Structure 1
Amino acid sequence: MLTLTFTPFPVLITERLTLRQLSVNDDKEIFALRSDQQVNKYIDRAPSNTIEDARKFIHKIEEVVRENKGIYWAITLTNHDNLVGTICLFNFLAENDQAEIGYELLPTFQGQGIMQEAILKVIGFGLQVIGLKTIEAYTHIENVKSTKLLEKNNFKKQENIDSNSDSPYVLFKLNHLMLTNNPTFENQQ
């Protein structure tokens, strides 16, 4: 059974990162993320056109977290409060002990192992604290960096999302059984 209670908000700490609750003070960084062409290249969403768009998004996320429908972390470097990216668990299916993971990182901070560190912590939290058995991720077929990140973290590519679809997205799944006795994921909560 899933534990979907995100109050108080679970702040996650790694060697270099703090994964904290998103706040309205993150509006400039959220705007930068959601309006950046490189970040949005493989994401099917309308980009933020104004800082007000970013604020509306933040308020929407605050409601999702308050209602325990998803958890959305701001990724910050330790001892710095500025958001450099985000990572979330959402689309919970309690009957299957399953959720979807999503993430994005400002281009300036890509290629530094930040998302690897964040995804390990969030996977550990999802499996050990929430009680997930499966975590899914959808990524664009041309998003090589995301595909490599998922594969490095034991996500397995599924054959087809929908064989009748021309969708450019690929489904990856991580099942908790794949991680049994895997030291990489021990004590990630």
Structure 2
Amino acid sequence: MLAYRIDEEVSLRMFDEGDAEEFYNLTIHSKEHLRKWLGWLDQIESLEDITQYIRTRLKIMAEDGGYLKSFAIIYKGKIAGTIGFNAFNKRNKSGVVGYWIGENFQGKGIMSRALKAVIDYGFKELGLDRIEVCVATENEKSRALPERFGFTEEGILRQAEWLYDHYVDHIVYGLLRQKWK
């Protein structure tokens, strides 16, 4: 899946280096909003940082036999965020999905549509048996997504992530192929 049209407004596609400036601007404009839940934002200091991120994702895709694991979320022709498999275990046929969306794109159902498509892709195209989502316990908006799609809350990882000046706990959600409609 190099590009997948979900509906008239939303699609997923592979990032390319030409996306760097738009993706950088989205990240920087949403930085304060995203900072509450994403611990890597201070590592993004320049357009080159985003360009390198995209290059790394393309390299990983090539090394993994062409299977795309990170997608640009496109909403009405603009990059709205990203979603993909942050971790992927071929032997155990499992993957961990991560996602974020720019502040101005929230509340439009974009991420729900994107997550559904990535779950389908993971089970049907990648042959996964299990998909996980790990979310900060207090991040209610991100927690609502796996809950809406029938993921099972499997436990809490205490102090799972360092966010600038404090730790946050993560809830681990899991979904098995046989539970997916």
TM-score for both structures, normalised by structure 2: 0.84
SS in 1 for 2:117: helix
Return the alpha-carbon distance in structure 2 between the equivalents of residues 70 and 14 of structure 1: 16
Would the alpha carbon gap of residues 155 and 109 (structure 1) be closer, same or farther in structure 2, given more than 3 Å must change?
A: same
Aligned to 2:139: 143
Q: What stretches of structure 2 of length at least 5 have no aligned partner?
A: 161-168
Where does residue 175 of structure 1 map in the other structure? 176
After TM superposition, the structure 1 = structure 2 runs for residues 84-95 of structure 1, keeping only pairs within 5 Å, are 84-95=80-91
* Separation of aligned partners in 2, 1:126 and 1:89: 9
TM-score, length-normalised on structure 1?
Answer: 0.81
2:21 to 12, 17, 28: 28
Unmatched 5+ residue regions in structure 1? 1-8, 183-189
* Percentage of identical aligned residues: 25
Q: In 1, Cα distance between the equivalents of 2:54 and 2:113?
A: 24
Q: In structure 2, what residue type is equivalent to 1:152? A: R
Quote the offset at 1:10 in angstroms: 2.8
- Number of aligned residue pairs: give it: 167
The residue type paired with residue 178 of structure 1 is: K
Q: CA–CA distance in 1 between the matches of 2:145 and 2:106? A: 12
Alignment of 1:25-64 (within 5 A): 25-35=18-28, 36-47=31-42, 48-64=44-60
Shift of 1:126: 0.7
Picking from 112, 127, 131, the partner of 2:127 is 131
Tell me if the contact between 1:61 and 1:72 (Cα under 8 Å) persists in the aligned partners.
yes
Whole-Å separation in 2 of the counterparts to 1:10 and 1:153: 24
Checking the alignment, whether the CA contact within 8 Å between 1:86 and 1:104 is kept in structure 2 is yes
Secondary structure of the residue aligned to 1:130 is coil
SS at 1:159 equivalent: strand
SS in 2 for 1:103: strand
